[in-house]
Amino acid sequence: MPETRSAPVTVPKLRAAKRRAGHAPLVMVTAYDAPGARIADAAGVDLILVGDSVANNVLGYRDTLQVTMENMAHHTAAVARARPEPMIVADLPWMSYHLDRVDTVRNGATLIRAGAQAVKLEGGSNRVPMIEALVAAEIPVMGHLGLTPQSVNAMGGYRVQGRDDAAAHALTVDAKAIVAAGCFAVVIEGVPESVGAAITESIDVPTIGIGAGPACDGQVLVFHDLLGFNDTAPKFVRRYADLGADAVAAMAAYAADVRSGAFPADAEVYH
């Protein structure tokens, strides 16, 4: 990919977007609604992820396990209505791809019909049959390995993964398995940078890191983290703005103007 986004961003183009082949790092950000999609589009990102992190960032849940297919279809459709140029990838929520292949393909199709060009699912070798079924139904699949938030209970919390040699090796095995099954890209979350680098080196499709170090073929951040809407954020987040504080200040100024009678002014009144 060139330094700036080349439209349209397609699955075949992305599949080849390895940095070792000379491509610029891919830029992905989450968005959950039309205004968010417009901002991401205007900023020139390559991919918009309608993440199941809508749970924590928008819907007020403590974890992503509460998110339903209805939630994901609703937010995917809102993003798609903005008609953004970046590729829209939508998360398959927990339990939407765990039961059987038919259920998985139906759920994938629901997100595609809502406006996504691809779906993302969490897990390694255990997800191979579902990935194969989605790909056979012409639904492009992005994988997600490492700290997989839908496994929060099984992992015993949001912990960095792949810290010992065996766990790191297992992640590389998983990455190869899901790529062989048809994933066109893989998100790697919450692993030591050496593990992010090893996985990136071991597969021929791009890796997109979040807390996985600089060697990945791209990076993804959560909209609300990078713009400063969340009070706390993990170590790997860089805040590029403090919009949460800016919003409070703006709204407090409005409240003060209403209470003092300064709003509305003559120019803001119909005569």
Q: List interacting residues with ligand KIV (CB under 6 A).
A: 30, 49, 51-53, 91, 144, 187, 189, 210, 220, 222
Q: Provide the pairing of β-strand 218-221 with 141-146.
A: unpaired
- 122, 138, 189, 193: the catalytic one is 189
Q: How far is CA 211 from CA 93, 187, 228, in A?
A: 21, 10, 17
Amino acid at 139: I
Nearer to ligand KIV, 102 or 154 (CB): 154
Active site residue 189: yes
Nearer to ligand KIV, 88 or 220 (CB): 220
Instruction: Give buried/exposed letters for 232-269 (b at 16+ CB in 10 A, else e).
Output: ebeebbeeeeeeeeeeeeeeeeeeeeeeeeeeeeeeee
Nearer to ligand KIV, 46 or 91 (CB): 91
Provide the 8-state DSSP code for 22.
Answer: T
Nearer to ligand KIV, 49 or 134 (CB): 49
The CB-of-128 to ligand KIV minimum distance in angstroms stands at: 20
Nearer to ligand KIV, 13 or 236 (CB): 236
Please give the angle made by the CA atoms of 25, 221 and 181, to the nearest 5 degrees: 65
Tokens 């002014």 belong to 265
The CB-of-11 to ligand KIV minimum distance in angstroms stands at: 18
Cβ atoms 6, 51 nearer than 8 A: no
Which residue's Cβ lies closest to ligand KIV? Answer: 51
The CB-of-161 to ligand KIV minimum distance in angstroms stands at: 13
The CB-of-165 to ligand KIV minimum distance in angstroms stands at: 25
The CB-of-166 to ligand KIV minimum distance in angstroms stands at: 25
CA distance linking residue 123 with residue 178, whole number of Å: 9
Largest CA distance in the chain: 74
List residues with catalytic annotation. 189
